[in-house]
Structure 1
């Protein structure tokens, strides 16, 4: 397989694309918003678009928000998905334990009703595909592993920080897990038992999540995903942390295949 990293993989972070078709609120905090991108209706087809929930990364920190994943959201919209990109509280903006997790749980619970009320008949909001990148990959796994079976049809984690204890020990993101969890697993074993998806996967009996990870990732080394149990790992050669969310990268067909095929199914 040829290398699949574009010349400037970080370019996706600054690329301008269309904004959302709707912005919904899931709570009272300024960060309690959800961007929604809707696909173009198919001529003569009256079906509701299947839902993909896209959780952004950035080591759970406030300086990184959902906007850098808009190119990926637009690309999924073009494949026929309705794409909901929630914001959540991050460290430095009232997030961290437990607020970040409270927000994801609230989004998981409230999003179907919000979409039904705001966009009636346009979106099939139940049993979404949940996709996340980096820290958002951890949250996508947490969404699926701690929710009900009907809360997620499928989970896809792109270069996730899935093993919190290991990420803490290796000081990934200059203390990102310490900031998220308020310390390490020795200090907060109950928190890690509830939030560390590497632990949760060991007792998961549902559909195996798919993890897509590049072997040239310097932000979250692929060894973190190789060590997970209970997943289907798609390892991409010569692919870094940002190419994996770039629809213009040759990595995109592999990501799309992991999410569910060449285009969204009709509902």
Structure 2
């Protein structure tokens, strides 16, 4: 991948496979710390692209590298996606969800020993925001359900323009009904699967969720974010919603103000003192 960190990035990069399919891998990016320093936490980056195979982990790696340069242990997670040419690498329901769960759980073995007690957070953009918030619910799933019994539970999530209401995305036919393609069905055909896969139906999450949405987003309407927040609030939660400057892709530009706000919200979730400066 062309965006892999280099020695000049002052981070340590390793590639790990958590399954046999080509897309079942994660990129672990470790910070370079001075003697006595501790990492700020562990952040799993989950890229977007409407769950489609033409969008991959290259989108998330610059974010993971930036987090590592600022003291985070970062994991850039790839997963099987839809609409690809390789049947052995096909995603959708439930494969995409199984991969996200397995990739996060792989950190239990892949993290250096001294880092294994750190809380793990997720930052997900667009479809990755959907998957990140879904993963936050894994501690609530009954045994035997997709994603149940996590080895690595999430401590919080920052959603960046996330597709957090799967039913609404289907109703709005967003990106040629990518939600329907992901699930391989309709909510009428498979209501239990859709409920299990939809953060808006699972809300409220058992951990804090920050919902960031660009003010000029033409790819994922803000209505999707508001629908999720309303569902969570209706169940007694208080999700943190923040509009951010820019368009859909501003959130994954490490030089943008929208990304810096993302990092600040991640720090806030982790209870770091610097996050209190606004």
**Is the 8 Å Cα contact of residues 50 and 264 (structure 1) preserved in structure 2?**
no
CA RMSD of aligned residues (A): 2.5
TM-score by length of 1: 0.84
Comparing 142-151 with 163-172, which one deviates more in the overlay?
Answer: 142-151
Whether 1:83 and 2:43 are equivalent positions in the alignment is no
**Alignment partner, residue 217 of structure 2:** 217
**Is the 8 Å Cα contact of residues 60 and 176 (structure 1) preserved in structure 2?**
yes
Give a deviation string over 1:137-196, Cα, whole Å, max 9, x none: 000001101236961111111100111011011111112111100122112101111101
Q: Highest relative contact order (Cα 8 Å, sep 6+), 1 or 2?
A: 1
- For 1:208 and 1:50, locate their aligned partners in 2 and report how far apart those are by CA, in whole Å: 16
- For 1:71 and 1:51, locate their aligned partners in 2 and report how far apart those are by CA, in whole Å: 16
Shift of 1:49: 5.8
**Is the 8 Å Cα contact of residues 155 and 208 (structure 2) preserved in structure 1?**
no
**Alignment partner, residue 180 of structure 2:** 178
Is the partner of 1:21 in helix, strand or coil? strand
- For 2:201 and 2:212, locate their aligned partners in 1 and report how far apart those are by CA, in whole Å: 19
- For 2:90 and 2:16, locate their aligned partners in 1 and report how far apart those are by CA, in whole Å: 20
**Is the 8 Å Cα contact of residues 26 and 111 (structure 1) preserved in structure 2?**
no
- For 1:23 and 1:111, locate their aligned partners in 2 and report how far apart those are by CA, in whole Å: 12
**Alignment partner, residue 106 of structure 2:** 110
Q: Which runs of 5+ in 2 are unaligned?
A: 7-11, 141-149, 233-238, 274-278
Whether 1:70 and 2:66 are equivalent positions in the alignment is no
Whether 1:18 and 2:5 are equivalent positions in the alignment is yes
Give a deviation string over 1:64-90, Cα, whole Å, max 9, x none: 111122221111111100110111111
**Is the 8 Å Cα contact of residues 214 and 235 (structure 1) preserved in structure 2?**
yes
TM-score by length of 2: 0.80
How many residues are treated as equivalent by the alignment?
245
Q: Which runs of 5+ in 1 are unaligned?
A: 1-13
